[in-house]
Amino acid sequence: MAGTVIVPWYATGFRADAFEEALNEVAATALRYGATSYAVLRARDDTYKFQQLASFAEHLDWERYWEGPEMLDFRVRHSSWYQVPVLYGWWDMTVSGGIEGSLVTSRAANGGR
């Protein structure tokens, strides 16, 4: 079943900018594992707080990405750049929307329910 994984990261002291660069790079590799989209968000009120999002058709593809060589290398190389534990969650989309040009769109997603 399709879903989006949200990974909350919290950078350690004075490493937020470097962590952002490294996370942005590794987040893009999710596409190699079948992700349909990815994003990295950084909080404005606490610039050490990040949210990594990746949408996959199958949970197994997420697991392959998370345990793949790129993410393993990222977590090893940058283990002192973020707080642990890192507890991600699998989320089902219930609705999404947006503006494309002058057209407003909305798409309901029932997550297979």
Angle at 52 between CA 50 and CA 53, to 5 degrees: 145
The reply to whether 91 falls in a domain is: yes
This prediction's pTM: 0.86
The reply to whether 45 falls in a domain is: yes
The reply to whether 66 falls in a domain is: yes
Amino acid (1-letter code) at residue 15: R
State residue 103's pLDDT score: 60
Query: What single-letter DSSP state applies at residue 82?
Result: B
The reply to whether 113 falls in a domain is: no
State residue 99's pLDDT score: 87
State residue 101's pLDDT score: 73
Q: Spell out the per-residue pLDDT of the chain, length 113, in tens.
A: 899 999 999 999 999 999 999 999 999 999 999 999 999 999 999 999 999 999 999 999 999 999 999 999 999 999 999 999 999 999 999 998 888 776 655 455 544 44
State residue 113's pLDDT score: 41
> Which CATH number goes with the domain that contains 27?
3.30.70.100
Q: In which domain, by residue range, is 29 found?
A: 3-108
Give the DSSP H/E element, type plus range, for residue 24.
helix 16-28
Q: How many domains does the chain have?
A: 1
